[in-house]
Amino acid sequence: MNSITLFRILKNGVINYSRNFWLSLAATSIMAITLFTVSSLLIIKAVTDISLKTIEDKVDISVYFKLGVPEAIIKQIQDQVDSFPQVKSVNYIPSVLAREKFKELHKNEPLLIESVEQFSDEENPFPASLAIRVASLDDYQNIITVFQAENLNPYVKKITDKRDVVDRLQKITDAIKKIGIVLTIFFSALTVIVLFNTIRLTIYNRREEIEIMRLVGASDSYIRGPFLIEGVFYGLTGAVLTAALLYPILYFLGPRLSSFLEIDITKLADYGLNIWLLFGALVGLGVVLGAISSLIAVRKYLKI
Amino acid sequence: MIHFDNVTKIYSNGTLALEGLDIEITPGEFISIVGKSGAGKSTLLKLITREDIPTEGAIYIEKVDIAKIRAKDIHFLRRKMGVVFQDIKLLPTRTAFENIAYALEVDGSPNSKIKKEVANILELVGLESKAEAFPDQLSGGEKQRVAIARALAHQPILLLADEPTGNLDSVNAMEILELLEKINALGTTVILATHASELVNKIKKRVIALDEGRVVSDVVQGKYKI
């Protein structure tokens, strides 16, 4: 195919797009709705992931030591636990600090504060503890097992057992993730089918044009080319339209969403949802969908 | 140039459209195919343009059995011929100029050549002033003249016209006929399918009459009769 033919195919694509204005507008709108749906689902999924992660981060294990366990031993245990790969952080809270925290927590209740201050540092009834955070909820049980083992158990006074909460949380997050995937697939498929049918109708509407082109001696590729270009245009314009709709929403809604969900929405980028990357993906997806739909739809009328 | 060798066409629903056709067409002829609706005129033209293929027998154009041309090469065959239809079939989103130019663009002709040839052909059909008009801004006769101009643009060896005057009044019909005769005089073979008797009687050239898919008469200087 030489350059003049290529140029003519491009030109015909542009002419078709602009002179069939209402058809193009219909196809472009459906394309924008498709892309908007898909990207909204992606964003909702990312926000859900962040929220779940934030909740998971708030769950920690507190191991309280018996009074009189020397600080050196606790530090030793801390180093040991810290070396486990699944452990994210281990915080040592000495009994002095535990008492300060208690006082801070109850600063409006002078009676409680007074009673706590009755004790000298040596008699401090607040146990020293380790606050352990793990990378994944599944590792929670492993850590508890370590402290229940014979070598550590004698030092341990109590492990705050949040297994119920964790179990429930885990079930909810699993369910949310599964429902999210099913919904994403369902709605994406739905809009893609609608998009395909819209493009098919715009081409059905022009089947006689294809017949005419065939009869005046246009080759298959010369007929198909402009329709392909139109499909690509639906993708490009649809992506721009989607971005014009989506980004202001994100911009105005983002801060509100951040404070409502107590998460930082700017973290979206950490979850592969960079705003420019998203635009690139929208364009890519739109162009591919438009081109494939056009090619499939036009094939039927090229058989004359 | 065109040779029908015992051509029979039966459609998939069982309709017998053409039966045992043996026709020889030589270059430069002007042939009128006449007959009632359903006699097989349109089927005959569709077999020549290779929109359809015979059920039996073969059609040779310049000694090539056109049923054997591969689907992706059919456009080479169609560039040898021009087709004019009763329902005109112009591209609705293209101007008169662009419609005619389209037939030249498909084979990669340079723009300078297209510009010159389209201008010449618009002059031949008398529509220089309507070059930038879209089809829905043209009258029926003007549209058909644009369609003829398009069919001629790539200088085909064969012009097929299927009831080109069917939707036109008698004055416009006569103008179209004169145009076809002018084109024939310039050397292009013309095959005209019609049931307009007054046109056929005026032409005084070869007339092939079809009835129920069979040739019932083939006269060199014929008149319309069924």
| Helical (H) or strand (E) element with B3 | strand B2-10
Separation between Cα atoms, residue A12 and residue A27, nearest integer Å: 18
Q: Which two tokens stand for residue A207?
A: 């089947």
Nearest to B89 among A15, A16, A208 (CB): A208
Same domain for A213 and A232, yes or no, is yes
Q: Chain A contacts of B72, Cβ < 8 Å?
A: 219-220
pLDDT per residue as tens digits for the range A220-244: 889 999 999 999 999 999 999 999 9
The confidence score (pLDDT) of residue B190 equals: 95
- In sequence order, the 6+-apart residues with CB closer than 8 A to the CB of B207 are B31, B32, B34, B200, B217, B218, B219, B222, B223, B224
The pairing of beta strand A87-93 with beta strand A129-134: antiparallel
Residue with the two structure tokens 């005959």: B44
The residues in B 113-152 lying below 8 A from A, measured between CB atoms, are 150-151
Q: Chain B contacts of A21, Cβ < 8 Å?
A: none
The confidence score (pLDDT) of residue A70 equals: 84
pLDDT per residue as tens digits for the range B68-126: 999 889 989 999 999 998 888 999 999 999 999 999 998 888 999 999 999 999 998 88
pLDDT per residue as tens digits for the range B170-221: 888 888 898 899 889 989 999 999 988 888 888 889 999 999 999 998 988 7
Instruction: Calculate how close chain B gets to A208, using CA atoms only, in Å.
Output: 8
Same domain for A119 and A220, yes or no, is no
Separation between Cα atoms, residue B78 and residue B217, nearest integer Å: 29
Q: Write the DSSP string, B9-74.
A: EE-TTS-EEEEEEEEEE-TT-EEEEE--TTSSHHHHHHHHTTSS--SEEEEEETTEEGGGS-GGGH
Same domain for A171 and A209, yes or no, is yes
Nearest to B102 among A16, A216, A303 (CB): A216
B154/A contact by beta carbon, under 8 A? yes
Same domain for A222 and A209, yes or no, is yes
ipTM here: 0.84
Query: Which CATH number do you get for residue A109?
Result: 3.30.70.3040
State which of A108, A133, A161 marks the end of a domain.
Answer: A161
Q: Chain A contacts of B47, Cβ < 8 Å?
A: none
Q: Which two tokens stand for residue B150?
A: 């398009």
Low-confidence ranges of chain A (pLDDT < 50): none
The confidence score (pLDDT) of residue A276 equals: 80
Instruction: Calculate how close chain A gets to B221, using CA atoms only, in Å.
Output: 31
State which of A119, A137, A161 marks the end of a domain.
Answer: A161
Interchain pair A217, B89: CB under 8 A: no
Max Cα-Cα span within chain A: 104
Instruction: Calculate how close chain B gets to A224, using CA atoms only, in Å.
Output: 12
Determine which of A3, A213, A215, A222 to mutate to test the interface with B (most B C-beta atoms within 10 Å).
Answer: A215
Same domain for A89 and A134, yes or no, is yes
Interchain pair A15, B93: CB under 8 A: yes
Same domain for A46 and A175, yes or no, is yes
Identity at A269, one-letter amino acid code: A
Identity at A114, one-letter amino acid code: E
Give how many domains chain A has, as a whole number: 2
Interchain pair B78, A214: CB under 8 A: yes
Same domain for A192 and A115, yes or no, is no
Determine which of B106, B107, B109, B118 to mutate to test the interface with A (most A C-beta atoms within 10 Å).
Answer: B106
B196/A contact by beta carbon, under 8 A? no
Same domain for A29 and A76, yes or no, is no
Separation between Cα atoms, residue A234 and residue B218, nearest integer Å: 55
The confidence score (pLDDT) of residue A96 equals: 79
Q: Which two tokens stand for residue A23?
A: 């058809």
Backbone phi, then psi, for B187, in 5-degree steps?
A: 115, -5
Backbone phi, then psi, for A40, in 5-degree steps?
A: -60, -45
The confidence score (pLDDT) of residue A261 equals: 67
Instruction: Give the residue from chain B lying closest to A211, CA to CA.
Output: B89
Same domain for A182 and A280, yes or no, is yes
The confidence score (pLDDT) of residue A267 equals: 61
State which of A130, A161, A192 marks the end of a domain.
Answer: A161
Residues spanned by the domain of A80: 60-161
Same domain for A46 and A191, yes or no, is yes
Same domain for A182 and A292, yes or no, is yes
Burial class from Cβ neighbours inside 10 Å (0-12, 13-18, 19+) for residue A99 reads middle
The confidence score (pLDDT) of residue B28 equals: 93
B102/A contact by beta carbon, under 8 A? yes
Q: Which two tokens stand for residue A148?
A: 């229940």
User: How would residue B66 be classed by pLDDT, with cut points 50, 70 and 90?
Assistant: very high
Same domain for A278 and A202, yes or no, is yes
The confidence score (pLDDT) of residue A77 equals: 86
Instruction: Calculate how close chain A gets to B133, using CA atoms only, in Å.
Output: 14
